[in-house]
Chain A
Amino acid sequence: MLGANVGDRFFKWVLLAAAATVLALIALLGCELAQASAPAMRHFGWRFIHTSTWDPVHRIFGALPFIYGTLISSFLALLIATPISLGAALFLAELAPARVRDGLSFLIELLAAVPSVVYGLWGIFVLVPLLRPVEAWLGQRLGMVPLFQGAPYGIGMLAAGVILAIMVIPFITAVSREVLRAVPRSQREAAYALGSTRWEALRGPVLRYALPGILGAIMLGLGRALGETMAVTMVIGNRPEISASLFQPAATMASVLANEFAEATGDLYIASLIEIGLILFGLTIIINAVARLMIWRVAGAGPRGVQE
């Protein structure tokens, strides 16, 4: 007859094995990427990270334009998405009547279910023609700023940033809304008791209480934006070039992998592409680790309670 003790230990080992499997998968992934990119690492060394040329014919490969493109497009997306998402989350958590709240939440979450390729197609046929006059106007009025110089073709970094923002909004909104709803009523009631208005109560105790969770939500959005491939590759212009202007085409690490891996021939070419994959992998881990550290520091300073 099985004793409760044996059952418990068995259960613990099974769960430990499950957790260890996840860690092992990540470690295995990192090792495989490192192994496969070894020829490129040996050939280029650290030059790979700060070279701007990507020339498959002359076999000169450098990841800098892709790293730049990935970081800028993701941060641009966060810049656009964060105010909108937080506003939507605050509205859904605090201000919306019940019927509106449920319907609107559902619609926002539906945005997350749309496949990336569909966003890309929508981007080419709807967003880019819309952006062209916007870019033309920005170029005319604010043309002295390097950010808004160049021909307004529509396709470029700005289009990629906008599409990524739209793709990232449902994630940040959903998590932020849950975090805001988890703020105990006592916080709000205490604020009202002290005579604050609705807005002051939201801005003060509630938001500060929920801040670690909201930061976590933003980091989740950043993680999505860093890895997004198909939608970006259709509207970013795929030009491995670093430019200060938002109107110029650019390229991201995920987009160059999606574009060139299938037809790549030659050991150095393939190894260079895999090294870009390794860099993306490493970048994602580093950014998530930094985000986690930030949240721990904030959560340590602020009131405890919400664990996301």
Chain B
Amino acid sequence: MHTTRRLLWPVLLALVTAALLAGCAKRSQQEAPATPGALTLTGAGATFPYPLYSKWFAEYEKVAPTVRINYQSIGSGGGIQQLKAGTVDFGASDAPLSDEEMKAMPAPVVHIPTVAGAAVIACNLPGRAQRLRLTPEAIAGIYLGEIKRWRDARITASNPGVKLPDLAIAVTHRSDGSGTTYIFTHYLAAVSKTWADRVGAGKSVDWPVGIGGKGNEGVTGVVKQTPGAIGYVELAYAMQNKLAYAEVRNAAGKFIAPTVASTTAAAAAAVGAMKKDVRVSIVNASTPTAYPIAGFTYLLVYREQKDRAKGEAIAKFLLWAVHDGQKYAPPLLYAPLPLGVVALDEAAIRSLTHGAKPLIAEGR
């Protein structure tokens, strides 16, 4: 009895160690791919396009069964950092890299716009039946804190016959860094010199006024709860939750409602400028049907791929995504790329190389 008691701990320790070692051995066995020739690509980054990317990866597996793609939606910042560190094969970001950030990357990076999104202005005006119409000056004035009440002349001027409540405007914005903020602040910087000088544009900014809500849900929660509130949310979110939104006047002078079609129109208007630099902002487009507060989300890859097989797989996937993948966008409430941008993307994908030879041969 005494012997058993003394032997108990050493035996237990030996058993636990054996179990751990067995577990390690089993795990390393599982890491080897099940089918020979199977390739796994890893990507990380933006959360905004994650639902669409998940659909793409699942559908692409049917097209190319030997390629598996893993994606971690850790945020654009994380995606860029992982790409820089070389731990992922591609990154995803709602905001393009600035010139400074491009220089900080170890090798040249190619931006591939994949889909477009928009920022919808949601309002809570009790007792109002019709759609509100807002001019760029009104939106900028509200977010600068210069327009404090709904009955201000700058708002009533574009809404004749609509009885606006005599409430103070409760301004809401995103507290977390987000691509939607990036699009919205770029719009404000484009339509208001005061905003461009004082605040600037980015995924997070120093807002002059307003309450910050976390995520689209946070902003929507505040807007729904507070009479007289105004906020901006992602197009897909606004449509799924049927939020009351405002029509915004675009550069052509028309009041446009935010839809998938009007967002694609905004993207189409920028094709000319994108030929010089694909990172150009597409806000405040001048075509009559374009919604003015729109922007792309990008996939980022190195121009020179280190691994031929992986590079070819990435290039083929990207080619599929900008052509066949676009049809999955509208049902998920993302705006598909206009043909002009698809052509630009194809040129960019064909410029990817391995050892100075293009990954995708001409004509494929």
Chain A residues proximal to chain B, CB less than 8 Å: 2, 53-58, 124-125, 128-129, 151, 153-155, 233-234, 237-240, 249, 251, 255, 258-267, 270
Contacts and interface: CB of A to CB of B under 8 A. Distances in A.
Contact of A263 (B75, B207, B226): B75
B218 A151 contact: no
A265 B76 contact: yes
Interface stretch (B61-69, B168-176, B262-270, B271-279): B168-176
Contact of B211 (A155, A259, A267): A155
A58 B101 contact: no
Interface residues of B, number: 38
A3 to B, nearest CB: 11
B77 A262 contact: yes
A265 B212 contact: no
Given A57-B202, A153-B170, A259-B175, A238 B211 contact: yes
A265 B77 contact: yes
Contacts, number: 102
A151 B72 CA distance: 41
B210 A239 contact: yes
Contact of B225 (A54, A154, A255): A154
A119 B202 CA distance: 31
B177 A124 contact: no
A124 B205 contact: no
Contact of B204 (A2, A234, A263): A263
Contact of B213 (A58, A151, A238): A238
A258 B214 CA distance: 9
Nearest to B78: A262
A264 B176 contact: no
B101 A260 contact: no
Given A55-B206, A262-B74, A151 B178 contact: no
A155 B214 contact: no
B177 A249 contact: no
Given A57-B202, A124-B221, A263-B204, 13 more contacts: A57-B201, A124-B225, A151-B170, A153-B170, A154-B225, A155-B211, A155-B226, A238-B175, A240-B206, A255-B175, A261-B75, A262-B177, A265-B77
Nearest to B94: A263
